[in-house]
Structure 1
Amino acid sequence: MKKIIVLCVAALSLPIAIAQEKITLTQAECRQMALAHSEDLQKADNAVMQAELDKDIAFAAYLPKLDATATGTYMFPDMDMMGAKLQMRGMYLAGISLTQPIYAGGQIRAGNRLSEIGKDCALENQRKARMQVIADADNAYWTYIAVLWKVRMLESYKAQMDTLFRQTESGVSAGMATENDLLRITAKKSEIHYQLQKAENGANLCRLALCNVLGCDLDTSIEPTDTVIKVSLPAELDTDISMRPELRLLHKQVEAAEQQVKMSRAEVLPTIGLSAGYMYFGNIKMKSEVGGQSFTQKIEDGNALVSVLVNIPLFHWGEGTQKIKKARLDLQNAQLDLQKNTR
Structure 2
Amino acid sequence: MKKFDHKIWGWKVVIITLIAFVILLNAESITLKDCIRIATSKNPQVLAAKEEYYSSGAERYRSFANLLPSLKFQGSYTRLDEAPYTVMDPTSIPFLPPDMEPMRIEMGKAEMQKLTLQITEPISARLWTAHSLASINVHKNELNYRKVKLESVLEAIQSYYQLLKAEGFLNVAQISKQQIQAHITDLENMYAQGIIQKKDLLRAKVQESEVELLVLQAQNAVELSKKALCMALGLPLDYEIEIVESLQFIDYSSPIDSVLKWAESYSIDAKLIDLGVKASEKQVKLAWEGLLPEFSAMFNYDYQKPNRQLEMEWYDSWTAVGAVQWNLFDWGGNIADIKSAKHRLKQMEYIRQSARQGIELQARSAYLILDEKRKKLEVARKEKQTAEENFRVTKDMFHNGAATNAELLDAQSDLTRANININNYMADFNIAKVQLKYITGELEKLMNEVLKNERK
Fold shared by both chains (TM-score > 0.5): yes
Alignment partner of 1:36 out of 41, 62, 65: 41
Whose RCO is larger (CA < 8 A, sep 6+)?
1
Q: Do residues 49 (structure 1) and 54 (structure 2) align? A: yes
Percent identical among aligned pairs is 21
Q: Distance in 2 between matches of 1:32 and 1:297?
A: 73
Contact residue 68 and residue 97 of structure 1 kept, 8 A: yes
Q: Which residue of 1 aligns with 2:32?
A: 27
Alignment partner of 1:67 out of 65, 69, 72: 72
Q: Do residues 276 (structure 1) and 299 (structure 2) align? A: yes
Q: Do residues 193 (structure 1) and 207 (structure 2) align? A: no
Alignment partner of 2:343 out of 322, 325, 329: 329
Q: Distance in 1 between matches of 2:158 and 2:44?
A: 18
Q: Which residue of 2 aligns with 1:293?
A: none
Contact residue 242 and residue 248 of structure 1 kept, 8 A: no
Q: Which residue of 2 aligns with 1:123?
A: 142
Q: Distance in 2 between matches of 1:25 and 1:246?
A: 31
- The structural deviation recorded for 1:50 is 0.9
Q: Which amino acid aligns with 2:349?
A: Q
118-127 or 314-323, larger mean C-alpha shift:
314-323
- The structural deviation recorded for 1:213 is 2.6
What does the per-residue CA deviation read over 1:108-150, in whole Å, with 9 as the maximum and x for residues that have no partner?
A: 2211111111111111110111111111111111111111111
- The structural deviation recorded for 1:20 is 7.5
Contact residue 298 and residue 321 of structure 2 kept, 8 A: yes
SS across alignment from 1:241: helix
Q: Distance in 1 between matches of 2:254 and 2:42?
A: 36
Q: Which residue of 1 aligns with 2:334?
A: 320
Contact residue 294 and residue 326 of structure 2 kept, 8 A: yes
Q: Distance in 1 between matches of 2:32 and 2:51?
A: 27
Q: Distance in 1 between matches of 2:51 and 2:284?
A: 28
Change (3 A) 1:213 1:20: farther
Q: Do residues 78 (structure 1) and 84 (structure 2) align? A: yes
Contact residue 65 and residue 99 of structure 1 kept, 8 A: yes
Q: Distance in 2 between matches of 1:81 and 1:331?
A: 68
Alignment partner of 1:97 out of 113, 118, 122: 118
Change (3 A) 1:217 1:325: closer
Q: Which amino acid aligns with 2:266?
A: M
- The structural deviation recorded for 1:252 is 1.0
Alignment partner of 2:318 out of 304, 309, 316: 304
SS across alignment from 1:242: helix
Q: Which residue of 2 aligns with 1:255?
A: 278
SS across alignment from 2:50: helix
What does the per-residue CA deviation read over 1:177-198, in whole Å, with 9 as the maximum and x for residues that have no partner?
A: 1222112211111111111111
Change (3 A) 1:217 1:80: closer
SS across alignment from 1:176: coil
Contact residue 164 and residue 247 of structure 2 kept, 8 A: no
Q: Distance in 1 between matches of 2:289 and 2:24?
A: 63
Alignment partner of 1:138 out of 149, 152, 157: 157
Q: Which amino acid aligns with 1:330?
A: R
What does the per-residue CA deviation read over 1:187-234, in whole Å, with 9 as the maximum and x for residues that have no partner?
A: 111111111111111111111222233344444443211103353424
Q: Which residue of 2 aligns with 1:342?
A: 356
Q: Distance in 2 between matches of 1:193 and 1:98?
A: 82
Contact residue 48 and residue 126 of structure 1 kept, 8 A: yes
SS across alignment from 1:316: coil
Q: Normalising by structure 2, report the TM-score.
A: 0.65
- The structural deviation recorded for 1:49 is 1.0
Q: Distance in 1 between matches of 2:207 and 2:110?
A: 105
Q: Which amino acid aligns with 1:24?
A: S
121-130 or 61-70, larger mean C-alpha shift:
61-70
Q: Which amino acid aligns with 2:122?
A: P
Q: Distance in 2 between matches of 1:48 and 1:250?
A: 17
Structure ranking higher in strand proportion: 1
**Which structure 2 segments of 5+ residues have no match?**
1-17, 89-102, 358-456
Q: Which residue of 2 aligns with 1:289?
A: none
Change (3 A) 1:64 1:341: same
What does the per-residue CA deviation read over 1:208-267, in whole Å, with 9 as the maximum and x for residues that have no partner?
A: 222233344444443211103353424323213232222211111111111112222222
Q: Normalising by structure 1, report the TM-score.
A: 0.85
Q: Which residue of 1 aligns with 2:245?
A: 226
- The structural deviation recorded for 1:36 is 2.0
SS across alignment from 1:63: coil
Change (3 A) 1:100 1:21: same
Contact residue 19 and residue 220 of structure 1 kept, 8 A: no
**Which structure 1 segments of 5+ residues have no match?**
1-12, 287-295
Q: Distance in 2 between matches of 1:162 and 1:27?
A: 36
Number of matched pairs: 319
Contact residue 93 and residue 281 of structure 1 kept, 8 A: yes
Q: Which residue of 1 aligns with 2:129?
A: 110
Contact residue 299 and residue 319 of structure 2 kept, 8 A: yes
Q: Distance in 2 between matches of 1:285 and 1:302?
A: 10
- The structural deviation recorded for 1:304 is 2.0
Q: Distance in 2 between matches of 1:168 and 1:48?
A: 68
Change (3 A) 1:219 1:39: closer
Indicate the RMSD between aligned Cα atoms, in angstroms.
2.5
Q: Do residues 173 (structure 1) and 192 (structure 2) align? A: yes
Q: Distance in 1 between matches of 2:23 and 2:164?
A: 24
